[in-house]
Amino acid sequence: MKAKIENMVILGSGIAGCTAAIYAARANLHPIVYSGEQDGGQLTVTSEVENFPGFEHGIMGPQLIENSKKQAQRFGAKFLIDIATSLTTRPDGTFEIMLGSGEKVHTHTVIIATGASARWLGLASEKKYKGRGVTTCATCDGAFFKGKEVIVVGGGDSAMEEALFLTKFCTKVTIVHRRDSLRASKIMQDRATHNDKLAFIWNSEVTEILGDGKVVKGVTLKDTSNGKTREFNCNGVFLAIGHVPNTNFLQGLIEVDEKGYLKATKDMHTNIAGIFAAGDVQDVRFRQAITAAGSGCMAAMEAEKYLANKGIE
Ligand code: NAP
């Protein structure tokens, strides 16, 4: 018996993947969504989303994802917990995806919406204290630092958001930034600079995480203007220094830009016909929930057109 070939497999269940699933399911394509490593994507570790249209008073990130999944399921999308470990082309123009579970799936179209993961500093001491004071997620771990002093590394919107969130628990939050001006949007900068519990250390890089072997006790800071180093005491280190796209499993199949993000056309086609990209994995610039959702919609509509042109309903 010939193995079943799915119409559409969506890799990643963040807002891009969920939106693609809503559109594909409504088009009766019965898409299958594989969750990826972080089921629900980055919004599941965000607090309030204030800028997604339609939610006048904001919506919690995990709730937005939960709603979107249910919306896609209502039209027939299937969500499965698994990760893609490889994606290859087959001689008949379809695709084979190997999954972490050991299963494989064949499909006519693929939407890659695998997102991006938090960037780490790359220090050995950071690895040693990961989960013991060093983390990339304030929403997940903030409550463990009640009454403690922490630093947040980074100068973008994420760093401001994480730092502001941490002021709810911590006695003091210090933002350590490698330059003397922030990358964050004006509104986030204003909120951060007007918060009494927040302090800033400018022109400084974390070059070492210090601890007692069990938990973090401080960091070594290097002044980027004169190279001098000093120790700074803190109980926690929150990294908010951007993200790297999740493309390892593709092993060079899809063209990427100089930063490793998938190259997609303005209507979300990759260099391989039948494979589309959506969300943060192909967006080095905007990386917003709404742009990810929009690209998921476009990818699904283009995939639907591709299938129709092939006579697959
Ligand atoms: P980002 O804008 O790329 O900022 C990363 C920050 O980390 C930059 O300040 C960068 O410094 C610093 N950095 C990078 N590598 C570093 C290293 N190795 N050591 C020390 N510092 C390092 O990333 P993001 O803050 O995660 O934001 C990503 C996107 O999501 C943005 O478009 C942002 O607007 C959006 N976002 C929006 C909200 C919101 O609106 N509430 C919340 C979160 C994220 P330099 O500035 O020197 O490059």
Residue 25 contacts residue 31 (beta carbons within 8 Å): yes
C-alpha–C-alpha distance, residues 64 and 14, integer Å: 10
Residue nearest to atom 9 of ligand 1 (CA): 155
Q: How far is the CA of 188 from the centre of ligand 1 (A)?
A: 12
* Predicted TM-score (pTM) of this structure: 0.84
Tokens 């903030």, residue located: 142
Amino acid (one-letter) located at 293: A
Q: What is the pLDDT along the chain (313 residues), one digit of tens a residue?
A: 567 999 999 999 999 999 999 999 999 999 999 999 999 999 998 878 889 999 999 999 999 999 999 999 999 999 999 999 999 999 999 999 999 999 999 999 999 999 999 999 999 999 999 999 999 999 888 999 999 999 999 999 999 999 999 999 999 999 999 999 999 999 999 999 999 999 999 999 999 999 999 999 999 999 999 999 999 999 999 999 999 999 999 999 999 999 999 999 999 999 999 999 999 999 988 889 999 999 999 999 999 999 999 998 7
What phi and psi values does residue 126 have, to the nearest 5 degrees? -65, -40
Catalytic residue flag (residue 141): yes
User: In which element (H, E) is residue 138 found?
Assistant: helix 138-141
C-alpha–C-alpha distance, residues 186 and 167, integer Å: 19
Residue nearest to atom 36 of ligand 1 (CA): 157
Residue 170, CA atoms < 13 Å, CB-side half-sphere: 31
User: In which element (H, E) is residue 117 found?
Assistant: strand 116-118
* 95-99 and 84-89 beta bridge pairing: antiparallel
Catalytic residue flag (residue 234): no
Q: How would you class 71 by CB atoms within 10 Å of its CB: exposed for 0-12, middle for 13-18, buried for 19 or more?
A: middle
DSSP string over 249-309: GGTTSS-B-TTSPBP--TT-B-SSTTEEE-GGGG-SS---HHHHHHHHHHHHHHHHHHHHH
Q: Which residues line ligand 1 (CB under 6 A)?
A: 121, 153-159, 161, 178-179, 183, 185, 188, 205, 240-242, 287
